[in-house]
Amino acid sequence: MTIPLCDYVWLDGEYVHLDEAMLPITTHALHYGTTVFEGIRAYWNGTDLNVFRLDDHIRRFRKSGQFYNITLNYTDQQVAEAVTGICRRNNIKTTCYIRPFYFVGEHGIALHVTPETHTRMAIFAFPFGDMFNRDGISTIISPWRKFSDMSTPIQAKMGGNYLNSIIATGSAKDAGADEALLLNTSGNISEAPGENIFIVRKGRLLTPNLTSSVLEGITRDTILEIAAESGIPPSEKEISQSELMTADEVFLTGTAAQIVPVLSINSHPIGSGSGGGGGGGPGRITRTIMDKYNDLVMGKVSKYAHWLTSVY
């Protein structure tokens, strides 16, 4: 996927033209995946550009590195100003995606990382609309399992963790599907390569619990809150393959994907009849949540104004 990067990036505290943002080939993160990252969206509503849940992203950004003794050498306020600043510097007036990351720089080939290890930080941004078809996508259950907390911290958004996502995505594309769904090591539903999973079954909204090897997604948390307010009480639990395959509706959530309906799994249509996806589009509950989420990020819900950080 080619992305139209903006002209300026933020690198180690300075705005630098994209062509001048260079790293040495000895950068530790290139060799070992010692990179901490976030995916953040800012939404343009025709008048204002607002970053969605910036404080929550920054909080997770810092905590992810702490699992590995990788130090973020900037305060939360400095990171927030850099995120909004990169949008202003590039005069972005459209919905966009922002990628801040920090990583181990010059550290030789040593595997022992400490809080004193040299780290660097960068941010880039680009205009970004829908990642998937909002009317729905096809999926397969990947032959590759999601790793567990017994091997690597699930709640750390580390570059190296996403090799698992890359191989699962490849299996889906090779099978002609849009996206993969991963089982955990117990054989229950975990998540997609870059998204959390929700299902609607017998009128209940369900999502795998955190012990199912899922990232505690910020969009996931948003859906749990707005669903409860909409009279659709959600539950977090272990979800079996059979529960997934007999769901009335299935959708994925994530910062990049936003909310995307799943129309089929392994060529099996999800839902049937009124209110279900039925292979022909989002189900009733999925559509309700999609609409409410869109209103929220566009600044139309005053109760959640605190989740929006103004760029201009």
| Among 80, 85, 50, 49, residue whose Cα is nearest residue 62 | 80
Q: How far apart are CA 295 and CA 293, in angstroms?
A: 5
Q: Which is catalytic among the residues 157, 237, 300, 303?
A: 157
| Among 265, 246, 241, 259, residue whose Cα is nearest residue 202 | 246
Strands (E), the chain: 8-11, 14-17, 35-37, 40-44, 49-52, 96-104, 119-127, 137-141, 179-181, 196-201, 204-208, 234-237, 249-254, 258-265, 268-269, 308-310
Active-site residue flag, 157: yes
**Bridge-partner residues for 127, per DSSP?**
96
| Among 150, 247, 251, residue whose Cα is nearest residue 196 | 251
| Among 291, 284, 290, 250, residue whose Cα is nearest residue 269 | 250
Q: Show the tokens assigned to 227.
A: 């669903």
At 166, the amino acid letter reads: I
So which residues are the catalytic ones? Answer: 157
